[in-house]
Each structure stands twice: as structure tokens, then as C-alpha cells.
């Protein structure tokens, strides 16, 4: 597995918007955040343009994404926002030769598409972490501090303690070595049948989502099961599932589904779309352990 390309002061960070756009004010906050880290932000002046759904038209977003991925002067790529749109431009990446050195790619939600493609096709590790549009005001300081340590190499392992076991298999003493794949449940579901379909054999699968009612979560999980994506996986870790109207039904939904699987199923409340959104490395070595006291720990190399 390739290692992360970690950052140092004055490294150059490209802001991408392969999905939704945003306001100039939010973009300015994102630029200020990157500068405060001691990094140099780059983005085109016309990053936001006319489109039916997205930050700009497909051709523009495609060309910008390719440019920053192959540009040797860019050290990291940080998504401005999630939403929808990355799946409309991902096919173009199959036509270019991957650079020898991986860049640090940061984002979540719709950026799940990019995580899956880069992890599986280019063998690049990526970082599931807050997008720039919400990192300043919608993410807590603990999550931001953890992110800073990780991207600058001050912390070489991401540790998630006290994962909650959700099925019988998760009550056994196990030690699982693998890597993490997945991300936003809706986008993982959209990958099925595509060239960037999630590959789960011998993997630890991670899933989270927002705005999906409990019955729709159940429907998606059952589709995954019927499509066989859990059959050869080593474990399943649920992150946050946030939905105002049916929140009280979500944990029972996850628990009921967990009992249908033979692999360990666990819950982590620190990763997702919430105020606490800890960075999760994907495509690197990971260890999932059931400790003597019955609690689980996930450790992922940077």
C-alpha cells in the first residue's frame, strides 16, 4: 500500500468543487482556513459557474480535477463541498495515467466517489474528512485539531476507541488486519454496477449518511446484502446516520440489520456528517481489535 503524501509549511493545496458550489463568502473562509494552517491555497477565479446542479459545468469540473491531480506543484487536493456531481466527472480519470506520487486528497460525502476510484484504480490512499465549506463553523475544534496533526504527519495513526458491537460476531475476541473502504452510504450504493464499484473483499467497510430516513437506510443495506458486498468483507463499521424525523429508529434499524450478517458489525459515533467528524484514512493498513474488556478499537495508519 502506498503512503500518504504528508504536508509541510508552504505546501500548495488545490481547492476543488466536483460537486455542489457555494458562496464567495464560504470560499473566502475556506481560503482563510488553509492559510491559517500555513499552506498556500489555489483555485481558479471562475470555480463557480452556471450549471443545473453543480458548481460548474461537467467539462469545467472534469478539466479542473484532472489538472490538479497531474500538476506536480500541487501537494494536496481538498474538496470545497460535497452534495452531488463527482460521479458525473469520474469516468474521465480512467483516460489519464496516474502520477507516480500520490497526493493527499481530502473530503467526504459526494467525494466518496473520488475515494473509491483513487483507492481502487490508482492505489492512492485518501482521507475521509470534512470538506472546506463546513470545516470552519460546522465541525468541532477536536476534529479540526486531529485533522491538522494527521495531514502534517504529527500523528501517524488514527485511533477510534470504544466502538459499539452490534451483533453476535462482534462479541468474539478477534483481531482484524485490513484496510478501510466505503464512505457515504448513498454514494457507495450508487457505485454498484459502475467501473468504480466498491471492492469489499477482505476489507473493513465503513458507511455513514445524512438525511436518509430509517426505512431508506434499511432498504439500501438490504440491497448491499443482496448484491453480495458483505459476503467476503472482514467487518462493517457504521458511522453517524443523521436524520431529524426518524433518528430514534436509526439505531434499531442498524442493529437489526447487523444481526443478519456473519461478520463483526460495529458503530462509531465520531465519523460522518456531525459536528464531530474525525478524519478516517482510507486505503492504508488498518487494525480492528476486540479488547479484553469487550470494547473495540480501530487503528488506521496514516
Per-residue pLDDT of the chain (302 residues; tens, 9 = 90+): 778 889 999 999 999 999 999 999 999 999 999 999 999 999 999 999 999 999 999 999 999 999 999 999 999 999 999 999 999 999 999 999 999 889 999 999 999 999 999 999 999 999 999 999 999 889 999 999 999 999 999 999 999 999 999 999 988 888 999 999 999 999 999 999 999 999 999 999 999 999 999 999 999 999 999 999 999 999 999 999 999 999 999 999 999 999 999 999 999 999 999 999 999 999 999 999 998 777 899 999 99
Environment class of residue 57 by beta-carbon count within 10 Å: exposed (0-12), middle (13-18) or buried (19+)?
middle
pLDDT at residue 295 in the model: 85
pLDDT at residue 152 in the model: 98
pLDDT at residue 136 in the model: 85
CATH 3.40.50.10740 residue spans of the chain: 12-151
Catalytic residues: 109, 208, 273
| Cβ atoms of residues 279 and 127 within 8 Å | yes
Residue 93, phi then psi, degrees to nearest 5 = -70, -20
Residue 183, phi then psi, degrees to nearest 5 = 135, -135
Environment class of residue 154 by beta-carbon count within 10 Å: exposed (0-12), middle (13-18) or buried (19+)?
exposed
pLDDT at residue 3 in the model: 81
pLDDT at residue 293 in the model: 77
With cell 476534529, the residue in question is 143
CA–CA–CA angle 200, 205, 207 (5° rounding): 130
**Which residue blocks in 204-300 are alpha helix, DSSP H?**
214-227, 247-258
With cell 470538506, the residue in question is 131
pLDDT at residue 272 in the model: 97
Among the four given CATH numbers 3.40.50.620, 3.40.50.1370, 3.30.365.10, 3.50.30.60, the one describing domain 157-301: 3.50.30.60
Residue 5's CB: how many other CB atoms inside 10 A?
17
Selection from 193, 187, 43 nearest residue 128 by Cα: 187
DSSP 121: I
DSSP 171: G
CATH 3.50.30.60 residue spans of the chain: 157-301
As given in the structure block, the three cell numbers for residue 213 are 430516513
| Cβ atoms of residues 87 and 113 within 8 Å | yes
With cell 453476535, the residue in question is 168
pLDDT at residue 172 in the model: 86
Which three-class secondary structure state does DSSP give residue 193?
A: coil
CA atoms within 13 A on the CB side of 63: 8
pLDDT at residue 2 in the model: 79
Residue 164's CB: how many other CB atoms inside 10 A?
16
Selection from 242, 210, 238, 245 nearest residue 224 by Cα: 238
Alpha carbons 56 and 188: distance in angstroms, whole number: 23
Selection from 4, 13, 58, 18 nearest residue 33 by Cα: 13
Superfamily assignment of 12-151 in CATH?
Murein tetrapeptidase LD-carboxypeptidase, N-terminal domain (3.40.50.10740)
Beta-carbon contacts of residue 42 (< 8 Å; ≥ 6 apart): 12, 13, 14, 15, 68, 74
pLDDT at residue 1 in the model: 73
Do you know the residue count of the chain?
302
Q: What is the pTM of this model?
A: 0.96
Environment class of residue 46 by beta-carbon count within 10 Å: exposed (0-12), middle (13-18) or buried (19+)?
exposed
Amino acid at each position: 500500500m502506498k503512503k500518504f503524501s504528508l504536508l509541510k509549511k508552504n505546501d500548495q493545496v488545490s481547492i476543488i468543487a466536483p460537486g455542489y458550489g457555494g458562496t464567495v463568502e464560504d470560499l473566502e473562509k475556506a481560503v482563510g482556513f488553509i492559510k491559517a494552517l500555513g499552506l498556500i491555497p489555489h483555485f481558479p477565479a471562475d470555480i463557480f459557474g452556471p450549471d443545473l446542479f453543480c458548481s460548474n459545468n461537467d467539462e469545467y469540473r472534469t478539466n479542473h480535477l484532472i489538472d490538479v491531480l497531474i500538476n506536480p506543484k500541487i501537494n494536496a487536493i481538498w474538496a470545497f463541498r460535497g452534495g452531488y456531481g463527482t460521479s458525473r466527472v469520474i469516468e474521465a480519470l480512467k483516460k489519464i495515467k496516474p502520477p507516480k506520487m500520490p497526493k493527499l486528497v481530502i473530503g467526504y460525502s459526494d467525494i466518496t466517489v473520488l475515494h473509491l476510484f483513487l483507492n481502487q484504480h490508482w492505489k492512492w490512499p485518501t482521507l475521509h474528512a470534512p470538506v472546506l465549506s463546513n470545516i470552519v463553523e460546522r465541525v468541532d475544534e477536536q476534529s479540526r485539531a486531529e485533522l491538522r496533526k494527521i495531514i502534517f504527519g504529527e500523528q501517524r495513526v488514527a485511533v477510534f476507541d470504544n466502538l459499539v458491537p452490534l451483533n453476535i460476531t462482534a462479541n468474539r475476541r478477534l483481531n482484524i488486519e485490513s484496510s478501510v473502504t466505503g464512505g457515504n452510504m448513498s454514494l457507495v450504493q450508487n457505485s454498484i454496477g459502475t467501473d468504480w464499484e466498491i471492492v469489499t473483499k477482505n476489507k473493513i467497510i465503513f458507511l455513514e449518511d445524512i438525511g436518509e430516513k430509517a426505512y431508506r437506510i434499511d432498504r439500501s443495506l438490504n440491497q448491499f446484502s443482496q448484491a453480495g458486498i458483505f459476503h467476503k468483507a472482514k467487518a462493517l463499521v457504521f458511522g453517524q446516520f443523521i436524520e431529524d424525523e426518524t433518528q430514534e429508529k436509526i439505531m434499531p434499524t442498524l442493529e437489526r440489520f447487523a444481526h443478519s450478517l456473519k461478520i463483526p458489525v460495529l458503530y462509531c459515533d465520531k465519523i460522518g456528517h456531525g459536528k464531530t467528524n474525525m478524519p478516517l484514512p482510507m486505503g492504508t493498513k488498518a487494525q480492528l481489535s476486540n479488547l479484553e474488556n469487550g470494547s473495540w478499537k480501530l487503528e488506521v495508519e496514516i
